[in-house]
Structure 1
């Protein structure tokens, strides 16, 4: 069990896991300053441009990009040999598709790379296998304060939601404010970027001689805590080798190990959608570039009657250094309770219709109530920390 000191550290937001100023200065400061210089603005100045979907979404800003979006390939769950009772779409993963314009990406970088904001929210990544990675979570909207207005508006705009939902094959909505546009950052020196070890490990994994466990990764093998994610690339990938997302397909009869397949990584401003709550995947560490920064937003089905298999395996504040205890859990409870209310309202609507017709389907009503009860129970069960999790937490501290 955790000591009182560790419990206090968790509730304080893991200050011991904050990214130090020296790391920011060594790895990101020059990129931020170069971006500001190109715009002729001073450090710390807020982005003055407001999000405009017809200017900042590639689909509307460029006819050629619209054609690329419409032609984007998607791999089905069936193609991945995965049949999951909790899947909410037949789409498993998409190829990269055009999402935000270069100007939009530059404004986003200007917002989240502000030194004061970055050092306030950046934490070391809890499941990195390289030890040099960080993330920012819950920085877009902290309680009722929107810290990064452009990023917030870009991800929550109905036109953006429509494009992501269409690519996912199901109408989606953002899970909660804490899951808007969290940032994953892989940092290394130019010398480290040239190391051959990473490429060799990747080659072994894809040749069939490995089950993928030896792939150096920004984020190790995992299933996401939420049904769908949209992963946006915000780094220049022209010199990047690798950086693709790798998926584990379902095993066929007789397979000793699950096949590992790469899905092409998006270039800057492009994105992929992934039904990550049902598909095990990894974000390999790229070579040839000193940074790989992605922005990830998590979604669930907008239809409250569809499955919501959200869990807290990778995001609960005790485990994920970037999830703030006093912000995350209230948001989690709020979103879950609101969905329960929606489901209860739907049940009462059905009962009203049945009553007008002089009928009552007891079995159906009981099944719905049992489902709602199980969903509510899972809400607090997901907040619990088991002994195995406590062991990992203690070992990481």
Structure 2
């Protein structure tokens, strides 16, 4: 069991894992200042015709339509739990340069960064941080442009089309969480270079790849990952995936996106990693998480990578209250559906079908509270 001091720190927002001000000053302050000098001080509202590449650029529309997607079957990962045939997409054009600059300015504002940034719990380079739950803090929208950009129906349409299923953002807390990788030392850069060469030649199982976010399955069914950094001089930055079936153990990579481009991934069912790239002063990615909009579709969400006892960027009160709210909402919808469909067209009660539906609902309820439990292993990790 954790110490009283650790529990108190977790309840207060994992302050023991806060990023020092010196890291912000040394790595990000100048970037923010340059953004501040070029962006108008007046608030700019999100405009899909201006800020989504699909509508602002006819060439981007064609690129979007021709973006490759890789199916779960092709990855050898077909599962009865999947909510779409799509496993992962190549990067596709999503937000324009102005939109990217506006989102960067919101997250790199010193007050916002210092309040919400925490070290990444599973970084293997030790120089990376995450910013979570900052876009809408409880009932207050603190980053209005970013909030509007991700929740706008036109943005959702593009993400849904690429994912091959109608999605819904899992909850406000998971809108646009950010992973920031700082520039690595020369010795780490050499390690990255060698591990990349082994991985690209097929001589590595991926365990030795230095990463912004280490090997993991996502906690939620789908994610959309947006690049917010200039990748002109970047080497690497691909998302690496572990395949299954006859290709089990093989590591494949999806190309890294350019600034403003994104990729979707059925990350709950695909083990993946975000390798540290070469040749960049910073790598900033923004991730929004989704579930199927249809409440009857599977929702295998877990809290293994996001609960506040494990993920330092998660605030205890805000996160858990939103988790319960979203899960209870799904339970209500499923109960209503079970009730409405309990009789056939002749008015006869469908006992077996109704019992099966109620058992599924019962299991969903149990998983809701069991995911909030913290194991001894998790407490041990939290105490490190």
Instruction: State the TM-score, normalizing by the size of structure 2.
Output: 0.98
* Superimposed CA distance per residue, residues 44-100 of structure 1 (whole angstroms, 9 cap, x where no aligned partner): x5x611000111001111111111101100000000001222100000000000100
Alpha-carbon distance, 1:208 to partner:
2.2
What is the rounded CA distance, in whole Å, between the counterparts of 1:97 and 1:349 in structure 2?
41
What is the rounded CA distance, in whole Å, between the counterparts of 2:154 and 2:81 in structure 1?
27
What is the rounded CA distance, in whole Å, between the counterparts of 1:205 and 1:195 in structure 2?
15
What is the rounded CA distance, in whole Å, between the counterparts of 1:61 and 1:192 in structure 2?
40
State the 4+ residue runs in structure 1 displaced beyond 6 angstroms: none
What is the rounded CA distance, in whole Å, between the counterparts of 1:38 and 1:151 in structure 2?
18
Q: What is the aligned counterpart of 1:223 among 210, 217, 221?
A: 217
Q: What is the aligned counterpart of 2:51 among 43, 56, 78?
A: 56
In the other structure, the counterpart of 1:332 is: 323
What is the rounded CA distance, in whole Å, between the counterparts of 1:236 and 1:290 in structure 2?
10
In the other structure, the counterpart of 1:168 is: 163
* Superimposed CA distance per residue, residues 192-241 of structure 1 (whole angstroms, 9 cap, x where no aligned partner): 49932211111112322221000000000000000000000000000001
In the other structure, the counterpart of 1:107 is: 102
**SS of 1:262 mapped into structure 2:** strand
Which is further off, 331-340 or 196-205? 196-205
Alignment of 1:125-144 (within 5 A): 125-144=120-139
In the other structure, the counterpart of 1:260 is: 251
Q: How large is the RMSD of aligned CA atoms in angstroms? A: 1.4
What is the rounded CA distance, in whole Å, between the counterparts of 1:12 and 1:124 in structure 2?
16
In the other structure, the counterpart of 2:34 is: 34
**SS of 1:105 mapped into structure 2:** helix
Which is further off, 340-349 or 177-186? 340-349
Aligned length: 384
In the other structure, the counterpart of 2:381 is: 392
What is the rounded CA distance, in whole Å, between the counterparts of 1:392 and 1:97 in structure 2?
36
What is the rounded CA distance, in whole Å, between the counterparts of 2:300 and 2:48 in structure 1?
31
**SS of 1:195 mapped into structure 2:** helix
User: Any conservation in 2 of the 1:134–1:184 contact (CA below 8 Å)?
Assistant: yes
What is the rounded CA distance, in whole Å, between the counterparts of 2:347 and 2:158 in structure 1?
43
In the other structure, the counterpart of 2:190 is: 196
User: Any conservation in 2 of the 1:301–1:308 contact (CA below 8 Å)?
Assistant: yes
* Match status 1:364 vs 2:353: yes
What is the rounded CA distance, in whole Å, between the counterparts of 1:193 and 1:167 in structure 2?
39
Q: Which runs of 5+ in 2 are unaligned?
A: none
In the other structure, the counterpart of 2:294 is: 303
In the other structure, the counterpart of 2:271 is: 280
What is the rounded CA distance, in whole Å, between the counterparts of 1:143 and 1:192 in structure 2?
41
**SS of 2:189 mapped into structure 1:** coil
Q: Which runs of 5+ in 1 are unaligned?
A: none
In the other structure, the counterpart of 1:9 is: 9
Alpha-carbon distance, 1:249 to partner:
0.3
Q: What is the aligned counterpart of 1:249 among 218, 229, 243?
A: 243
